[in-house]
Amino acid sequence: MSDSRAAIRYAKAVLDLAVQNKATDAVEKDMRSVVATIADSKELRAMLASPVVNGETKKKALAAVFDGSDQITLGLINTLAANKRISILNEVALKYIILNEDLKGEGVAYVTTAVPLSADLEKKVLKQLAQITGNEVTIENKIDESIIGGFVLRVGDLQYDASISNKLNNLKREFSSSL
């Protein structure tokens, strides 16, 4: 089983438990903290990925770092450590956040463009996304000049790439394969 599939399964299990205990928001806050902490700490990422550091040491370090977190979050850390899957903690946290936003009916659409979206264009995109997803969605605009033009839209696990750079790469592949 790939790490991605395992992360989704752990995230779903944690979400189910959080729903039962009416702690979805507290656990989401913890998961956002996990993602931010791991992203900010090169040492923590190295420790989690290291096969030399044993699971018990990783579990104790994470318990100390996330002391004061909800019991469900601490239970996830213990379960991942016991199953020798602590290295996917960050991915589980990211999947949990996405699943919880979907459950609440609010999602975040990531729109990558070469230039910032205008307010008018942002309203049009929001209207289209509301029709497509059936949920209220907020937009987070990322600027990446390397896409040259067009956009890349990501909502949850779905991605639509309408960038000029993607179209150029596709043309390049077609020319290369037809030679």
Q: Report pLDDT digits (tens) over 139-177.
A: 888 899 999 999 998 887 778 899 999 999 999 999 998
% of residues, the chain, pLDDT over 70: 98
Domain that holds residue 74: 3-101
Domain boundary among 58, 76, 101: 101
Does residue 7 contact residue 95 with C-beta atoms inside 8 Å?
Answer: yes
pTM: 0.65
> What's the pLDDT at 1?
45
Read off the DSSP letter of residue 51.
S
Question: Residue range 67-76: average pLDDT?
Answer: 91
| CATH code assigned at 70 | 1.10.520.20
Structural domain count of the chain: 2
Say if residue 144 is in the same domain as residue 120.
Answer: yes
Beta strands in the chain (DSSP E): 106-113, 136-143, 151-155, 158-161
Does residue 80 contact residue 92 with C-beta atoms inside 8 Å?
Answer: yes
